[in-house]
Structure 1
């Protein structure tokens, strides 16, 4: 058996934590701008936009905690590390998104019962527009870094903020229409649409995170690439079977059985395992590889022949 455990460079952990801290700062800035826009106009649609930013601040703080925990080295109580802490963060963020949507629906209903006249709409929408541009730039950065660093917390934050951007654009467009037509009913209607969109995004965030908590296998395209890497570096072995994978944040756990000729020495089979491990770890960041070596006489099932 051969086991490869590679801890992520500390510089990566520090980088992710810095991004998480910056996310909180950006969320607080955007929240301040959006609240000012709401206070100037009294628009329930802009209130809904500001309320989602409150969720962004809370979610950013939770993500910061989760990222810190996920980079704590493995210990006796957690020998496989703490990578899944980020999934808990993403699940909590999804729950907060749903809660925000319900609060927005409540405000939209009251505004529908008692329509409000918008005050200083141009200035309020201009301020909200600046906040939306800041959000768009930061969300794009978070999604890119989340994928690059394989951080579920950063990726979930980026996806949520991008949803905020889309809804903000819709709110601004709708308010322009409300001003042009004089239909005050459009304000609570827009807020309700924002809430429904937020509910949809919250559902997606929760389900994606639960898949990670339930040890979902890696993507089919990655699994195929993994098999090709094993085949290309397993010269001297006969076949591979019982391949299992799971993703836990940035870590990828790979386990399989490697069948070798019965007369092969332990040293030779160990060399094959080392080659495979090195190749897999070069492709999959923080790969944890477990290989069970079997002599061909005792192999219990037919697997994938090594080419």
Structure 2
């Protein structure tokens, strides 16, 4: 089990423990803020479990039916997460409105505060773990899950504040208001998750700073490298793909040009993780004296074809 699967498994177990405690306390006290937070934690269990299996699927190597691998499984998981999160946020708001209309009584105890305080701490820890591993591995599924748990920080904080205000004022208005805020926060966070999931499915380009890194690597190459053009990038899950036409001195032999392409590929992979590089070789058509000096002068004058 790799680090991504361990992080996802940790999130599943933690969210399950929180969901059980929140539902138990919330149903005992009648607090919609606590129950809504418990529903959110139950959703976390489902989402993190789905991420766990999506990450396992994405880690499988390419096969005959999937020659480009299974990396998009993470993007699919992210998109599904977003849809379910939006639905859950709407459900929380609906329940809060129903509570306001029928004006059910709410009984709070010190246990309410304890459970929500524990939830706040766990949400912070889980979010930091997932965010750290997601950034290190480039996993969109983990980064989306981290964003979801980050939204829990706001919803749990709102629930604690609602408990405090309702307990000391006796007004259930605070509980209902913060439950609605929780639903809105959840729905808002889902929009970013949905965009990232769809981007992964639509073969969007990799982040600009990574493209700049690739161009920087190409710019460092020396003769008989002569330039490049038709650079394209995309990402699928946490996998990144780049292809471009590599221009070489037209005097190079095929095996020499092939060796040069390998050096370029190795340099890119050494500086950017989980990237697949495809290079199409082309002879440079620019007229020069076929020497390193004249090629360098042409390139530094900004005449290098790209």
| TM > 0.5 fold call | yes
- Equivalent residues of 1:252, 1:286 under 8 A apart: yes
TM-score, normalized by length of structure 2?
Answer: 0.90
The secondary structure found in structure 1 opposite 2:2 is helix
Q: Corresponding residue for 1:281? A: 269
Report which structure shows greater RCO (CA 8 Å, sep ≥6): 1
- Equivalent residues of 1:102, 1:195 under 8 A apart: yes
Between 65-74 and 289-298, report the one with greater CA deviation: 289-298
- Equivalent residues of 1:97, 1:202 under 8 A apart: yes
Work out which of the two has the higher radius of gyration on C-alpha atoms and give 1 or 2. 2
Q: Corresponding residue for 1:75? A: 63
Q: CA deviation at 1:304?
A: 7.8
Q: CA RMSD in A?
A: 2.1
Q: Corresponding residue for 2:99? A: 111
1:229 aligns with 2:229: no
Structure 1 residue ranges (4+ consecutive) displaced by more than 6 angstroms after TM superposition: none
Q: CA deviation at 1:213?
A: 1.0
* Alpha-carbon distance in structure 2 between the residues aligned to 1:290 and 1:155: 27
The secondary structure found in structure 2 opposite 1:75 is coil
Between 181-190 and 85-94, report the one with greater CA deviation: 181-190
Q: Corresponding residue for 2:112? A: 124
Alignment gaps of 5+ in structure 1: 1-12
- Equivalent residues of 2:154, 2:182 under 8 A apart: no
1:191 aligns with 2:190: no
1:256 aligns with 2:244: yes
Deviations 1:72-126 (A, max 9, x none): 1101211111101001111111111111112111211111112233223322121
Alignment gaps of 5+ in structure 2: 287-298
Q: CA deviation at 1:249?
A: 2.1
Between 177-186 and 24-33, report the one with greater CA deviation: 177-186
TM-score, normalized by length of structure 1?
Answer: 0.90
Deviations 1:259-299 (A, max 9, x none): 1222211122112111111111111112111111111239x
Choose which of 193, 206, 219 in structure 2 pairs with 1:205: 193
* Alpha-carbon distance in structure 2 between the residues aligned to 1:60 and 1:20: 6
Q: Corresponding residue for 1:247? A: 235
Equivalent pairs, count: 293
